[in-house]
Structure formats: structure tokens, C-alpha cells
Structure 1
Amino acid sequence: MIEAFKTSPVLLLFVVSAIGYWVGNIPIRGARLGVAAVLFVGLAFGALDPGLAMPDIVIVLGLSMFVYTIGLSSGPSFFATFRAQGMRNFLFIVAMLVLSSAITVGIHFLFGLDAATSAGLLAGSSTNTASLAALIDLIQLSQPLELQEKLTNAAVVGYSLSYPMGVLGVMLAIGLLRRWLKIDYQTEAEQLNNIYPLNDHLVRQTVAVTHAEVVGLPLRTIFQQFHQRIVFGRMRRDGQDELPNMDTQLQLGDRIVLVGSAQVVAEVAQLLGESYGEELSYDRTIFDIRRMFVSNPKIAGEKIASLNLAEQFSTIITRIQRGDVDLLANGETVLELGDRVLVIARRTDFGKLARLFGNSYEALNHINLLSFGSGMALGLLLGMVTFTLPGGLSFSLGFAGGPLIVALLLGALRRTGPIVWTLPYGANLVLRQLGLIMLLAGIGIRSGHTFLNTMLAGGGWLFLAGAIIATTTAFVTLWLGYRWLRIPYGLLSGMVATQPAILEYALGQADNKLPTIGYTLILPIMLIMKILFVQILFALLV
């Protein structure tokens, strides 16, 4: 079987992926490794034979696809949050790297390590391949020719032994601190729902206007008073059903449908009057309700207000299903490919609306290779650019940083003229998972035999050193970030999860998208800072 794996790396890739997926679903004290288990299964397979290897293109393609798809989906929230909390995030990154560097320096002098091994330990414990590449480049540029091979090998050994615990140690810290701090991820998500649209758990209620103080009040005023967290559906006035707009003024006796979270709907209902026994949404005599897919690229990336639905079709959208999440819809909501919009309209207009939105599930299964390929190419090109700093230090964004930064920019833009940069939700998720599996399996198989040999040769103390660096840094930064900086734990777990396997574990723990938001908030800067810190550490210790 080993010979078959040597002959066919693709076979090896899918065997490791399948076993890793199975192992990842085994509960261990209530927690699961998830897709991250593919990395550890890859290490086990790689240890079987030095001839087992994965082509570099598998790892590069997997890493690039993973970060690119995450960047596309996180672009808008990244820039909105970075403008508000950019300095806090930067200081958090610096503090985390200063701490891990200080621990590495202590281990360096305690065990009498050489500079290359110590810098490799820092690169591996922070699970940053780009920083190892930058370290090797610095060794070749600054050290005598006769020492270059020895120092390079030492750096690689330090990196290889500390990398596994750089993953497992952070997972351990996230899981244990979650229990010790008694983190309630659901409550966190509800508290942050105004900032990050995670899930509104929407309800609807028909209310009768009975309070005189709201008579003559336009709906726009109530909409703004409740911070755009309420949507108004159909309204019945004098026995006639109609669709209101923001300029509609309330009158006594009006019956109006409210859509929003249970708390907001209850507050608005109390303001307007009282609950009405009959649910207007069940009356389909004049207006009907239908879900439609957004598959028309011409309207993807456009705000709902720009479609002029009320004027053209006497239609309103009350909510949007994006993935498994229901979101409130308003004029400023930007439509994305794959959205399912809930429209209220006359039956005679449904055909026209279907043509406007596209409403084709099949079309959503096609990826626009022009936008996807162009975006990936731009990201890879940016990653190849080398930036030189004073003092001889240099860095490049690599196959992770380049695609991620380009994807964040394109995701925030959403479209440029006729080109829609974002991907349908389902397509994005499939590409992301495929990229992650390729990356984790490739890294695990490549590192497995080196890891085993070094451990058998008495390198267990280097493994322990990597565990100390990674685990201590994760515990301290998680604790201080949560207790001192008051960063929500869901976001925080993503901020320390600077490796895709850790992110997948954090997502499984949180059961919401907050870790992904935290991951994208700091990863671009974190990649650059890690490269610089590893080079600076080597320069100081050599």
C-alpha cells in the first residue's frame, strides 16, 4: 500500500482526508477536532515512510484557496471593524508576539540552543511557514557560506518539532479556558448581533395601532429609533391591504406586520399599540409571499434600495437567508449571489421578480472563473513581492497574505463594473473546505517523517519547548484579551487561531462565525509581524 501512495499522491491525499474527517468527528470529552484532525492523520501517514510526500502545489493551492475564500466573505465586516478597533487589534498582535518571543529567548538561554533553532521554534510555534521561509532567506543573506546549510537545517528542525504543538497547544488553550471562564457563545453572539449579522432569530407579529401618540408618525422615525432593527411588512387600513413605505404615516386602527428579533418586535408592538389576533401574513388574497434565489449577477453587489422594487412592482423584501442565517432586509442591505430573499408581492408580479433576481439554483452552482481566477492571480502576485526594510530585514506576504489581502479588498468592493468578485455562499464554502483539506493533509504528510526522526533522536525537549511557547502564549493572550481588553471570547479564539486547523476547531466550539471574523481582523497584520519578529529574534541571538 505504501508503494501505491508513493505512486499516487492524489490517492494518499484523499485517504488521509477521509480518515481525518472520521477521526475529527470522534468526541473527546465533549469536543471534536473536526477538519483539524486531517493534519494529525497526515503526520501519522508521513511518519510511515520518508518517500511519502505531497507536491508543493497541493499545499500552495490549498492555502491560497482557503484564505482567499475567507477574505471574500469577510471583507465588509473586516474594514468596518478595523476602522473602529484597528489600534486595539494592532496592540494585541504586538503583545502576543512580544510574549512568545520573550518565552523563546528564555528557552534559548535555558537549553543553550543556537539562534537558528530558537528562531525556528518561534516560527513553528506560531504556525507560520512564511516566517520560516523569511528566516532561511535571512540566513543565506547574512551568514558565511560554510554555516548556511547547518543553520538552515537547524531552523527547519526547530520549526518541524514546534509546529504540531503550535496547533494542538492553542486548541487546548481555547477549549480549557472556555470551560474555566464559563463562556456562553450564544449570549456573546446575541450581544454582538448589531455589529456582526450572525443570526437575528427573526419573528413576525401583527400589531394594531391603538396609541394616539404615534398617529401621524412616519415609519422612518420608528425604523431609525430602533436602529434599523425592525422591518414593516404588509399593512391593513380601512379593510384594504397595502404595502407601506418609510414615508407611510400611522393612523389609529391600522394593522401592520412587524418583523425582527423577538425583543425588538415586542418593544415596537408596545410602542404602537397591542397585538392583533389575526395574522395578516396568512391572508394571501391580494399579496403573497415567496422565497427567491439571487442568481442574477447584474444585481449581485447592489443595495436593495437601488432596485426600486416598491415603484416597479409594489414589492418589499422583509428578510434574506444567507447560508443558514436569516437577516433583516432594508434599503442599505447589499445582495449577494446565493441569497434567498423573502418577497411580498402580488402573484401577477412573481414572474417579473423571478427574472429580476434570477431565481436559479442551478446557476448558483457555477463559479465565475473570470473573477475567481483573476482575484487569485492578483493575490499570488502580491504575495511574491518582496518588501525590504532598513537593517537588511525583508518580507513577502506569501501564498497566504497576498491572496487574503486582495480577497478582503475585493470582498469589500463586491463588484467592479460587470465583474462580481464575491462567490455564492455554497461555492465559497466548498472551495474553502477543499482548500483546507489540501493544506492540512499536505503539511501533515510533509512533516511526519522529520517529526518522528527528530523525536527518536532525542529531540523531545524541542517538542516540549514548542509546546511551552505555543500553549503559554495562547493561555495568557486569551486570558488577558478576555479579562482586560474585554474582547468577546468568540472573536478572541479566532484572533489566536492563526492556523486554519485551529480556526476550524474554534468554529466548531463557538457554533457561529465570530472566530472567522476575529481571524480575518488580524491575520494580514499578524503574518507580516510574525515574519519580522522571527528575523529580529535571529538577528539578536546569532
Structure 2
Amino acid sequence: MIEQVLFFFAHNPLLMLFAVVALGYPISKIRIAGASFGIASILFAGIALGALVMAPGLDAGLKKDISKEMKLVYELGLAVFVYAMGLSISHSFWAAFSREGMKKNAVVFLVMLASTGFVVLLARLLGFNARYAAGLLTGSFTNMPALAGVIERVKTMAGVGPVELAQPTVASAIAYPIGVLVPMLIILISSKVFRVNLQEEADGLKDYQTGHQKLEVWTLRVTKPEAESLTKREIRAAGRFHVVFGRVLRKAELLLPGPEFRLKLDDLVTVVGSPDDLIQVEALIGERSHVELDRDQSALDATRVFVSRWDVVGVPLGKLDLVNKHQAIITRVRRGDLWFVPDGDTVLELGDRVRVTTRRDNIEAIEEFFGDSYRALSEVSFLTFAMGLAAGLALGQLPIPLGHGIVFKLGFAGGPLAVALILGRFHRIGPLVWNFPYSANHTIRQFGLVLFAAGIGVISGEGFRAIMSKDASVLPLFLGAAFLVCLVADSLTMLLGYKVFRIPLNIMFGIVAGTHTQPVVLGYANHHTGNDLPNVGFATVYPLATILKIVLAQVLLALIP
């Protein structure tokens, strides 16, 4: 019965592909000690089913056909995933070139170079070939785009068969769990080793606040004369407050304050922000009032609107000039699951949900201005998607000489990622909007990653079986090597970041997670700290960490015989 099922899968590769997804996805949701393997579970399921289906007795021509179809599947999945990911992280990538961002990324750069050197040393000591070493690096740092780049590079080498092609995947799959568990262990013990009270440290990190906090609305009464000398913009800048000023009540008249608006004594003003920021704004301008001005709907009202109109995305709010042109103020923006307060530099994205204060008779016009169409949000511009992805694939095939006869290609991973980072930076060029809605981007990324993991797993199954049947000792050997790589890398990350660059420990936990490009570790870091400060470190280093792994893993193939 089992043989018949496997034979049926062999003749129906598409069915086998989604059987792998159906087997692996439920496993990805199982959490042990707060951790799960996520999409890697689909990779494991693909290897297992591929090893069973691609049995020695299966017709060689049929094996070749399955491999060809799965190759197309995983290349498509990889290209779609990295392109969508590049668009979503482009803002964080370019923001990383600030002074603080450079410090964080310097840590990742040094750690990845050191880790690559350490993998070379281990390979020479333990007798790993270049394919195993590259897979060990990608698995220890849990990065599938880097693994894909390695496999693509290995395919161009002479004398590569199913076993050789499977070696990077086998090493990566064995090392992957260690790449999740060790950084969590480092996060757990670091606060004790460095004797840091994480809550006290977090309370003093005003400059690192992300704005993604619980937001409240206070009504403040202006009682301090010095507040009259400051514009709304100057009040925000005075303490680098992440707040938005909403409606103002002045002598029975409700007003909408623009950036240069000046408060006067006895004004009532609504302020939106985190409790910590609101307390400081209160100390600067006056006192909290018992009046709930935001509930007064006699002249001004608030509405929540979906951003679905292409014309308003990619434009800083300061240039939209909503107060003067549309008699409206955006007091909050929801992107994905997070609320934050905007400023003049905030750029709206398709799918954002904004809370707008405006005149009651102006609500319909505001809804029309932003679009407010859920149906439009479900539609992706496949013109710009195809144009951007095609440009990325073309860039990926360009040979880049590195000297000494080494030629490097960005490939199906690096090319689309590089183009997406550039296009995402500009948001739009003329009528062409490159970004697409948050929900659509997230779905496309997940689908692409699932296709890649399932396809590469099935292709690697035959080689995995051959490797294990020949020498099962590779399992404990790679587990031990991955543990050493992660232990050295994460310890070095903490020492460089916290001791040398003086980056707060709350932020460092996010950098550790970002170095591994591992959301599971980030979730653990947020839970361990009890705040969202690790998100700052993660978002800052994630783009560079991804690019470095794609490049360094392929460089390893040239460094080791």
C-alpha cells in the first residue's frame, strides 16, 4: 500500500509538492519551550518524502523529470519570497545607515566575517567539504535565501550529482534547530552574565522608542506661559516626543492645528502617544484635564480609513499637507498589527489603516481621498510586481568578478532582493507604485517561502538518504559543529555590541535575533524583555544580515577545497 502511494506521488509531482506542505505545516505550529521551527518544518517534510519517493528503484528518467519540476518550483518560490521581503524591509535597510544603525550593523558585519572564518577553520579540522561548510553556515544562521544561493552555485560546478547537490541542504537542515535554540539560550543568560536589570534599562531608553506601543489619548490644558512661544512642531522636537496633537478647543471654537500652530493659555488640546511621552508633554505645556475633548463630536469627528488609493502612498505626510488642503489630521496609523503615531516624514503604504480627525461634513471626502476600499487592497499590481521581479532576476544573472578567477552572481536570491531594496526606497516612480499592501506582501512572502522549502526538500531527499546510509555520523558531527558556530557567533555579538559599541542589552537581543534572521528568536526576546525594544535591533540589522549570508555562503564555496 505504501509503495503504491509513493509510486503515485512520483507520477504526480505537483500533488507530492502540496502533500509535503500539508505534512510539514502543522508541525511548524508545534511549540516546544516557546520555540518552533516554522517553515523549516516543511523543508524537513520535503526531505523525508523525497527520500522515500526518489528510491533507488525509481526510473532514472522519472527522477530527472521530478527534479526539473521541483527546481522550477523552488526557484520561483525563492524569487517571489526575496523580492516581496525586500520591498517590506527596504525602509529599515535605508534607515540603518544612520549613525546608530551603522553601529548595530557593524556588529553584524564583524560577527558574520568572524563566523565565516570559524566555519572555514572547523571545515579544515573536521574534514568538511565546501558544500557541507556552506550549508553549515546557512543552517546555523537559519537563512533559506542563502541556502538557495549556495545550491544555485553548486549546480554550476563540474561533477555535481544528487548527493553533492544535497550536501548543503543536509548540513543546513541538521544545523537549523541549533540556530534557533542557541541564540535563545544566549538571550536567557546574558542579562545575568552582564548583571543588567532589563526593565530599568528599558525605562531609560527614550531615544530607542519605536512608537509601536500602547497609545492613549489625553486632553491637556495649557497653563504654562512658555508653551505659547513654541509651535506644535517645536514642542514635539523639544523632547523628541512621538506624539500627535489633535483637536484644540479655544474659546468654544474647535480647531485643527497645523505644524506651525501655536497654543495659547487655557487652550484644551488632545494629544495622542505613549503614556511616557504624554507625561512629558504635560509637564512641558500644562496639566491634564478631566474634559474628554476627543469625545466631542459636535463639529469635529474621527474616522478610520483604509489607505487604498495609489496617489497617496509613497508621499511624506508633510507634503500631503492634510490640515491646509483637506482640513484633516492623521492621529494614528495601523500597519499590520501595530499602531504608531505618524510625523511629517511618515510615508503611508497601501493597506495602512489611519485614524483621521476632520469636520463631520468632510468625512466622506476624506474617505474618498484615501480610497477606503478593502477590495482594492486585495488586488496586487502585477504589472509593477512582474517588472520589478524581472529586473531582479536579470540582475541576478550578471557575473560579478571578485578576482583570482572567482566570479560571483547574485542569483535568484540576491538579484530580486537588491532590486526590491532600491524600488522600495523610492516607493513609486511616476504612476508606478512598487510596494503593495501589507497583507498581500505577507501572503506572497509566505507562499514563496513554502514553495522553496518544499521544492528544495524533495530534490534533496535522494541525496539525504544516500548520505545517511553511507555515514550516519554526519548527524552528531554537524549538530556539534553548528552548536560551536552559534555559541561563538552569539557570544561575540553580545560582547561586541554591549561592551564595545555600548548598545543597550534590550536592543542587543534583537540584534542577536536579526543576525540569525530568525523571527522565532525575536519573539522570545520580546517575551524575555517584556517590551518591544528588541524589534529596533532586529529591523535595523535584518537586511544586511540577509545579504551578508547570501554572499558569504557562496564565498565559502571558493575558500574551501
> TM-score if structure 2 supplies the norm length?
0.85
Cα deviation code 1:144-191 (max 9, x no counterpart) = xxxx46xx6774464243121232221221233233336999999998
Q: Paired residue for 2:96?
A: 81
Q: How far apart are 1:410 and its partner, in Å?
A: 0.8
Give SS of 1:26's match: coil
Please give the alpha-carbon distance, in whole angstroms, between the structure 2 residues aligned to 1:517 and 1:188: 20
Change (3 A) 1:300 1:524: same
Aligned 1:79-478 pairs, distance under 5 A: 79-84=94-99, 85=102, 87-108=106-127, 118-127=129-138, 128-134=147-153, 137=156, 140=158, 148=159, 155-156=164-165, 158-181=167-190, 197=210, 199-457=212-470, 459-478=471-490
Please give the alpha-carbon distance, in whole angstroms, between the structure 1 residues aligned to 2:26 and 2:374: 30
Identity of aligned residues (%): 32
Q: Paired residue for 2:43?
A: 39
Q: Is the 8 A contact 2:314 2:348 kept in 1?
A: yes
Please give the alpha-carbon distance, in whole angstroms, between the structure 2 residues aligned to 1:290 and 1:537: 61
Q: How far apart are 1:48 and its partner, in Å?
A: 1.5
- Please say if 1:28 is aligned against 2:5: no
Q: How far apart are 1:343 and its partner, in Å?
A: 0.7
- Please say if 1:528 is aligned against 2:547: no
Change (3 A) 1:428 1:192: farther
Amino acid at match of 2:515: M
Pairing partner for 2:491 from 437, 454, 479: 479
Please give the alpha-carbon distance, in whole angstroms, between the structure 1 residues aligned to 2:393 and 2:152: 16
Cα deviation code 1:212-247 (max 9, x no counterpart) = 332332222111112251211111111221111222
- Please say if 1:72 is aligned against 2:95: no
Change (3 A) 1:321 1:36: same
Q: Paired residue for 2:70?
A: 55
Please give the alpha-carbon distance, in whole angstroms, between the structure 1 residues aligned to 2:420 and 2:116: 25
Q: Paired residue for 1:500?
A: none
Please give the alpha-carbon distance, in whole angstroms, between the structure 2 residues aligned to 1:345 and 1:223: 21
Change (3 A) 1:81 1:39: same
Q: How far apart are 1:510 and its partner, in Å?
A: 4.7
Q: Paired residue for 1:112?
A: none
Q: Is the 8 A contact 2:166 2:461 kept in 1?
A: no
- Please say if 1:491 is aligned against 2:491: no
Q: Paired residue for 1:519?
A: 542
Q: How far apart are 1:81 and its partner, in Å?
A: 0.6
CA RMSD of superposed structures (Å)? 2.6
Q: Is the 8 A contact 1:58 1:442 kept in 2?
A: yes
Q: How far apart are 1:49 and its partner, in Å?
A: 2.1
Change (3 A) 1:356 1:185: farther
Change (3 A) 1:245 1:160: closer
Cα deviation code 1:336-395 (max 9, x no counterpart) = 111111110012111211221111010000000111111111111111111123211111
Change (3 A) 1:517 1:219: closer
Q: How far apart are 1:327 and its partner, in Å?
A: 1.5
Q: Give unpaired runs (5+ residues) of structure 1.
A: 109-116, 141-147, 498-502
Q: Give unpaired runs (5+ residues) of structure 2.
A: 55-62, 139-146, 527-531
Cα deviation code 1:462-494 (max 9, x no counterpart) = 333333333211121112102332362223222
Q: How far apart are 1:267 and its partner, in Å?
A: 0.8
Q: Is the 8 A contact 2:427 2:435 kept in 1?
A: yes
Please give the alpha-carbon distance, in whole angstroms, between the structure 1 residues aligned to 2:439 and 2:134: 34
Q: Is the 8 A contact 1:233 1:259 kept in 2?
A: yes
Please give the alpha-carbon distance, in whole angstroms, between the structure 2 residues aligned to 1:38 and 1:103: 28
Q: Is the 8 A contact 1:185 1:490 kept in 2?
A: no
Please give the alpha-carbon distance, in whole angstroms, between the structure 1 residues aligned to 2:96 and 2:73: 33
Give SS of 1:126's match: helix
Change (3 A) 1:529 1:23: closer
Give SS of 1:64's match: helix
Change (3 A) 1:185 1:24: farther
Q: Is the 8 A contact 2:211 2:242 kept in 1?
A: no
Change (3 A) 1:505 1:519: same
Q: How far apart are 1:438 and its partner, in Å?
A: 0.7
> TM-score if structure 1 supplies the norm length?
0.88
Please give the alpha-carbon distance, in whole angstroms, between the structure 2 residues aligned to 1:235 and 1:211: 16
- Please say if 1:2 is aligned against 2:17: no
Q: Is the 8 A contact 1:35 1:504 kept in 2?
A: no
Q: How far apart are 1:97 and its partner, in Å?
A: 0.8
Q: Is the 8 A contact 1:293 1:360 kept in 2?
A: yes
Q: How far apart are 1:418 and its partner, in Å?
A: 0.7
Amino acid at match of 1:364: L
Q: Is the 8 A contact 1:206 1:276 kept in 2?
A: yes
Please give the alpha-carbon distance, in whole angstroms, between the structure 1 residues aligned to 2:185 and 2:107: 25
Count of residue pairs the alignment pairs up: 514
Amino acid at match of 2:86: G
Q: Paired residue for 2:529?
A: none
Change (3 A) 1:14 1:365: same
Please give the alpha-carbon distance, in whole angstroms, between the structure 1 residues aligned to 2:485 and 2:240: 39
Amino acid at match of 2:547: P
